[in-house]
Structure formats: C-alpha cells, structure tokens
Chain A
Amino acid sequence: MSTGPVSVDHTRLLWMRRLAVLATLLCLSVVVFGGFVRLSHAGLSCPDWPTCYGKAAWPTKEHEIATANIDFPQRAVEVSKAWREQLHRHLAAVLGSLILALALISNWQDRRRRWLIIACVPVLIFAILLYNPGGLPLPSMPFTAFLIAAGVELALVAAAFSARAGTTARLTLLLLALVIFQALLGKWTVTMLVKPIIVMAHLIGGLSVLGLLGYLVLSLRRVAAPAVSSRAPKRPLVIAVFVLLTIQIALGGWVSSNYAALACPDFPACQGRWLPKTDFSEAFVLWRGVGVDYEGGVLDGPARVAIHLTHRWFALIAGLALFWLAWRAWREPALRAAGGALALVTAGQMALGISNVVFGLPLWVATAHNAGAAGLTLLMVYLLWRTRPMPGSLQTHRTQIR
C-alpha cells in the first residue's frame, strides 16, 4: 500500500507497533514474575508503598537494614524477598510508562485527550507524594490521594468512551486507566495485608492488561490475517469459552489467595475421600473486614477444601469447553495453529494443576501454572480477534490508526 513517501501516519503506526509488542512482552514478564513474587511468599516483603522500607530500591547494606528494622517494626527486612517485590513494582512502572506512551501517541491528534493524558502524569505523581511524601515537606493525606487517583481514573475512562469504538485511541486509554488501577490494587495488596479479594482482583487485572495489549498488537498488524470461513467457530462461542476461562482463573486466584492449594493433598480424591467435609458458606465470603493479616490464610480446613474442590471441578467444565473450542478451530484451516496451541496449553495447564497437588506445590510448577493462565488468555484474545466481525470488502485492507 505505502508506495508514496513515508507519511507521518506510517511512522506513527510503526512506532506504535514496536511499542505495543515490547509492552506485551514486558507485561507477560510482569504477570509471570508477579505470580512468582506471591508464590515465593514475598508479597508483603516491602511493608510500604511505592517505596520499599523508605527506599526507591530496597535496603541492602548492613546499616540500611538496621535503620529499616527500626523505622518499620511491623516487618523485619528479608533482603532475599524484598528485591522481588520491589523489582516487580519497577517492572510494572516501566510497563505503565510504555502504556502511557502508547496512549499519548494514539490520542495525539485529539487536542483534548492529548492534554488530559499529559495532565494525568503530574497529577498522579502529586497523588503518590500526598500518599507517601517520602522526605518531602508535604502533609500525608492518603484519602485525598485516593480521591485524586479515582478522579483521574474517571476522567480517563470518560475520555476513552469519547473516542470512537474500536479505535486504538479508545483501547490505549482503557489500558492506561486499567494499569493505573492495577497500581492501586498492588498498593492495597500490601496495605490490606494480602486480602484475598484484592489479590484475586490484582491477578485478573494483570491478565486484562495483558489481553488488551495482545489485542492492540493484533489490531496494529501490517497485514490483516486471512479471513476465516463460515465453518470457523463463531464469536459468541469464543466469548462464552473465554467467560468460563475467566471464571476458572478467578477461582484459581481465590485458591491461591486463601492458601487452599494444599487443602487436598491428593488427586483425584481429596484427603482419601470423594466427598470430604466442606464448608461452602465460609469459602466464598468475599469481604472479611480489614486490619486482618491474611498471610497464610484465615479459613479453616473444610472452607479451604470447598474452595479447592470448586477450582478442581470447574477445571473439568472450563477444560472441556477449551478443548471443544480448540477442536472447532483445528477443523478450520486458517485457525489450525491456534487450535492446536490452545489444546496443548490447556492440556499442559491441567497437568500443571494436578502436579501442584501431587508434588506439594513446588515453586516452579505453581509459577508455571500462573504463566499457563496468561498463555491461555493470550490465545483466547487471538481467537477473539480472528473471529471479529468484518465488513466484507475491508478485510484485506491494512489496519490503520483511525
């Protein structure tokens, strides 16, 4: 198509594509590393936010550790853990900056949205400083900081919906709002002492950022993929399976955040029985008050068994749905590779889930189980994109920034 001189639009598209690919890869690492941080019990190893024991990095030297232990008596420094939590935050901050750049580039031509995005940066920095002034002579006003952040979120979402549907302008603004919300959830994970619902929301939020970034990369592709035939799985089917997968991932997050992974140490039976004692009324209470330290879990055995078994049995439903979709995709030549990959990753994910139980939750298996969820999310986003509705004649045209 571009036989003429290189246009501004073309350069913009090129840069957006590079940035989007980079951001997606980085996001995948942040999600996988974030799972590692949690599963290696390092989630609370920095008691403050966004600093770690008052430092931008983390205390390493002897005297730094001594000072940190005096300033933060609630939790003794464990250098081997603190670096994980703080590196996760640093990686996420870089990811946030990439998404900011993406939003700025794709909204540059709309003067109002451009200035809104630019204005958000100092406002958010100010809010963070209000929350945690560090050494600066600012009053500490955490609730005001939260209100400011909430206002920024509302403004960004409103701006996103003022952009046309289906444009990268809207997608990147939503991404920006989402990644800021992820930062808030990351903060609450720490300040609410790994409260299960916050941890679960942080997982879902992270995978949502990943999925949206994947969709962005796809919609920026130079050449549109060949059209799928009428035998290909329809979009409603893909959406329905995606919903089931999302529920299963949320249940998995609930298992982890309630420390229920080893509530059943055997497979396929649980504690040697097919119908062990369960307590479903306590298992899914979403809110149990704040100020409680949730590290290690607060539920008793039967409640944890109920959570564990729900995730285990729902895996059967979600797994069957995924295999069904994979088979449907496999029958369609244009989607054969995606269908095959979906079947493989689903099988791998189930094997990892069983291994978690049988081998007593080894760190690398648990981390891989989280990575598998990310992989399934990306594959589903790909199928979602391939089955998107297309106006007949436009499908061979280049996707353009609108």
Chain B
Amino acid sequence: MWRDFLELTKPKVVALIVFTAVVGMFLATPGLPSWQALLWGNLGIWLAASSAAALNHVLDAQIDGKMARTAGRPLPTGHLGLRQATAFALVLGALSMLILGLLVNVLTALLTFASLIGYAVVYTLYLKRATPQNIVIGGAAGAAPPVLGWVAVTGEVHAHALLLFLIIFIWTPPHFWALAIFRRADYEAVAIPMLPVTHGVEYTRWQILYYTVLLLLVTLLPYLSGMSGLFYLGGALVLGLTFLYYAIRLLNPPNEWFAMRVFNYSVIYLMALFAFLLIDHYLPHAGAREPVLEFLRVAG
C-alpha cells in the first residue's frame, strides 16, 4: 500500500526536481544557505512536487490505463482508489503550503502553488490534450524549482535564478520529445497531440536538434553573465556537445531504442550540469578575468 502511494508521487522525477531546487538554494548566496531554508524549503518543494505528481495520476487515470508505459500505475491497476489518491494529493499540497508559507516565506509558497497548478491543472488537463506545444509551455512548471529554491533563501527573484529557469525550460522539449518519439504509438492510441504524433518523427528529430543547439547556447549564459566560472563552462561545453552528438545521431538512429538512450542521457545531462553549477559556485575563482570573454573580444 505505501509503495503505491510512493509511486503516486513519481519519486525519481521529484528527486531530480528537488535536486535542481537545492542547487538554486546554494547558488542564491555566496556562503551557505540557512538550515531553515534548506530543511523546510526542500521539504515544502518536495511535498508540492509530490502532490502535483499525484494529481497528475488522478487526472490522467483514464488515459494512463490505455498506454503501455503507464498501464501499471496504481490507479489504472486498481491498487488505489481515485478518492484515496485525490485525498493524498490534497493533503500533501496543503502540508507543503503550510510549511512554505509559515516556515519559509510567502513568496516561495505563492510561486510553488502557481507551479503546482501550472503542472497539475494547466498542463495535464488542458495543454497536454490541446496542442503539440504542450510540453514546451508546460515546461515552465518543471523549470520553476531552482527559482523556488532561490526564493526560499533570499525572498526575491534574482535574474540569475531566471537563468536557471531558462536552462530547464529549454532542456524540457528535447528531453521529453525523445521519449515521445519512442512512445509515439501510445500517445497516438489515446489521441494526445504529442509532436511526433501530429508532425511526424522526422520533424520532431529536427526540433530536438534545434532545441539542443539552443540549449548549448543558453548554458553558456551562466558563464557569460559572470554567475559561474571556467569550471562550469568546461562542464557545460562537454555535456552540451555530447547532447548535440546524440541529437545529430538521432536524425539517423541506429535503432528504435536510440531515442530512449537520448532520453536517458538528457536526465544525466541535467543532473551533471547542475552539479557543475554547484561545485563551480564554491571553487575559488582565479582572478576577475574571464579568459573566454577576453578571447572573444579579440578573436576577430
């Protein structure tokens, strides 16, 4: 029973979300964030993300049952009832709001609430079924956690926090479309207008490539804006070029499974990228000079 409830919260996805929030917290301050922000902030964000995941299970229960990937979820299999799951989700959400609002700050609670609604209602109920741009727009909810983490520490939205938001926002489409290519038959069966269903696999592959190029450029911004240093830049370049390699190979993949390998890499990519951000934040920066910027000034 508790395993079913746990599965309802999509623990792996939520772990990645909380990780990006943690990184957002550490990047928000030159030293270490307060233990209150770390403990209560992450607990609140974790509960909210779990609540959103559970709500997604509830709202998608019908189509989940018809898709091979999701047919084994607790609701379609009848392990849990709709009412049980709904109550569970609402309790988690309420707890999260109480913790964030009372023990962290009101802005964090408000933004977290907006993200929760954005994912569970706007994306799941409306966007997902309405447009092939569903995950592009819906990606905003998934991109929010580092901002939430940042705000939990400082109480305000900083431009650098929005940079982290932008990275995840641009990362989401190639990440998800790789999965959608592999699972397109599922989506077609339940008439969800995912891009590979509406515009074909070939078109989606090119979109993945375009977004990957964009992602590579966007991940340079933390360095170019002076938020991160050379260590991050090196990591971002290696990770980004590898992603690019996967995206180019996906144009002419060796087998059907390759889309899934791209998807798996994209998860590792995001974790590693944020790990680089985090480590770089605590490395002593060698002087104020930015070699690459200086090089670009004289490259012509």
A188: contacting residue among B251, B252, B294, B299, CB under 8 A: B299
The distance from the CB of B71 to the nearest CB of chain A, in whole angstroms, is: 38
Contact A146 B300 (CB under 8 A): yes
In angstroms, Cα B49 to Cα A312, docked, is: 58
B245 at the interface (CB under 8 A from A): yes
Q: Of residues 138 to 184 in A, which have CB atoms within 8 Å of B's CB atoms?
A: 141-146, 158, 161-162
User: With a CB–CB cut-off of 8 A, which chain A residues contact B252?
Assistant: 162
A131 at the interface (CB under 8 A from B): yes
User: With a CB–CB cut-off of 8 A, which chain B residues contact A191?
Assistant: 298
Q: Of residues 249 to 300 in B, which have CB atoms within 8 Å of A's CB atoms?
A: 249, 251-252, 289, 291, 294-295, 297-300
User: With a CB–CB cut-off of 8 A, which chain B residues contact A144?
Assistant: 300
Given contacts A289-B289, A289-B294, contact A146 B248 (CB under 8 A): no
Contact A145 B300 (CB under 8 A): yes
Q: Of residues 175 to 203 in A, which have CB atoms within 8 Å of B's CB atoms?
A: 188, 191-192
Q: Output the nearest chain A residue to B252 by Cβ-Cβ distance.
A: A162
User: With a CB–CB cut-off of 8 A, which chain B residues contact A188?
Assistant: 299
Contact B289 A287 (CB under 8 A): yes
In angstroms, Cα B294 to Cα A188, docked, is: 13
In angstroms, Cα B299 to Cα A141, docked, is: 12
In angstroms, Cα B295 to Cα A286, docked, is: 12
B248: contacting residue among A141, A143, A162, A192, CB under 8 A: A162
Contact B289 A162 (CB under 8 A): no
In angstroms, Cα B248 to Cα A143, docked, is: 28
In angstroms, Cα B290 to Cα A289, docked, is: 9
The distance from the CB of A24 to the nearest CB of chain B, in whole angstroms, is: 29
In angstroms, Cα B137 to Cα A47, docked, is: 53
Contact A192 B298 (CB under 8 A): yes
A290: contacting residue among B249, B251, B298, B300, CB under 8 A: B298
Most buried by A among B248, B249, B289, B299: B299
The distance from the CB of A111 to the nearest CB of chain B, in whole angstroms, is: 15
In angstroms, Cα B300 to Cα A226, docked, is: 49
Most buried by A among B251, B291, B294, B298: B298
In angstroms, Cα B245 to Cα A145, docked, is: 26
Chain B contact patch, size range: 10 to 19
The distance from the CB of B65 to the nearest CB of chain A, in whole angstroms, is: 41
Q: Output the nearest chain A residue to B298 by Cβ-Cβ distance.
A: A290
Q: Output the nearest chain B residue to A287 by Cβ-Cβ distance.
A: B291
Contact A161 B289 (CB under 8 A): no
In angstroms, Cα B251 to Cα A161, docked, is: 11
User: With a CB–CB cut-off of 8 A, which chain A residues contact B251?
Assistant: 162
In angstroms, Cα B245 to Cα A291, docked, is: 36
In angstroms, Cα B298 to Cα A291, docked, is: 9
Contact A131 B289 (CB under 8 A): no
Contact A143 B300 (CB under 8 A): yes
User: With a CB–CB cut-off of 8 A, which chain A residues contact B245?
Assistant: 161
User: With a CB–CB cut-off of 8 A, which chain A residues contact B295?
Assistant: 287, 290
In angstroms, Cα B300 to Cα A131, docked, is: 7
User: With a CB–CB cut-off of 8 A, which chain B residues contact A162?
Assistant: 248, 251-252
User: With a CB–CB cut-off of 8 A, which chain B residues contact A145?
Assistant: 300
In angstroms, Cα B299 to Cα A162, docked, is: 28
Most buried by A among B251, B291, B300: B300
User: With a CB–CB cut-off of 8 A, which chain B residues contact A286?
Assistant: 291
In angstroms, Cα B298 to Cα A175, docked, is: 25
Most buried by B among A191, A287, A290: A287
User: With a CB–CB cut-off of 8 A, which chain A residues contact B298?
Assistant: 191-192, 290-291
In angstroms, Cα B297 to Cα A188, docked, is: 12
Q: Of residues 212 to 266 in B, which have CB atoms within 8 Å of A's CB atoms?
A: 245, 248-249, 251-252
Contact B294 A290 (CB under 8 A): yes
In angstroms, Cα B103 to Cα A278, docked, is: 56
User: With a CB–CB cut-off of 8 A, which chain B residues contact A289?
Assistant: 289, 294
The distance from the CB of B3 to the nearest CB of chain A, in whole angstroms, is: 44
User: With a CB–CB cut-off of 8 A, which chain B residues contact A192?
Assistant: 298
Q: Of residues 291 to 330 in A, which have CB atoms within 8 Å of B's CB atoms?
A: 291
* A322-342 interface bits toward B, Cβ cutoff 8 Å, 1 = contact, 0 = none: 000000000000000000000
Q: Output the nearest chain B residue to A141 by Cβ-Cβ distance.
A: B300
* B132-170 interface bits toward A, Cβ cutoff 8 Å, 1 = contact, 0 = none: 000000000000000000000000000000000000000
User: With a CB–CB cut-off of 8 A, which chain A residues contact B289?
Assistant: 287, 289
The distance from the CB of B240 to the nearest CB of chain A, in whole angstroms, is: 13
Given contacts A287-B289, A289-B289, contact A146 B299 (CB under 8 A): yes
The distance from the CB of B109 to the nearest CB of chain A, in whole angstroms, is: 45
User: With a CB–CB cut-off of 8 A, which chain B residues contact A290?
Assistant: 294-295, 297-298
* A121-146 interface bits toward B, Cβ cutoff 8 Å, 1 = contact, 0 = none: 00000000001000000000111111
Top 3 nearest A-B pairs (CB, nearest first) are A142-B300, A143-B300, A287-B291
Extra inter-chain contacts (8) besides given A162-B251, A289-B289, CB under 8 Å = A158-B248, A161-B249, A162-B252, A188-B299, A192-B298, A287-B291, A287-B294, A287-B295
Residue contacts A-B, CB under 8 angstroms, 12 given: A131-B300, A142-B300, A143-B299, A146-B299, A161-B248, A162-B251, A192-B298, A287-B289, A287-B291, A289-B294, A290-B294, A290-B295
Q: Which residues of B are in contact with A by a Cβ distance under 8 Å?
A: 245, 248-249, 251-252, 289, 291, 294-295, 297-300
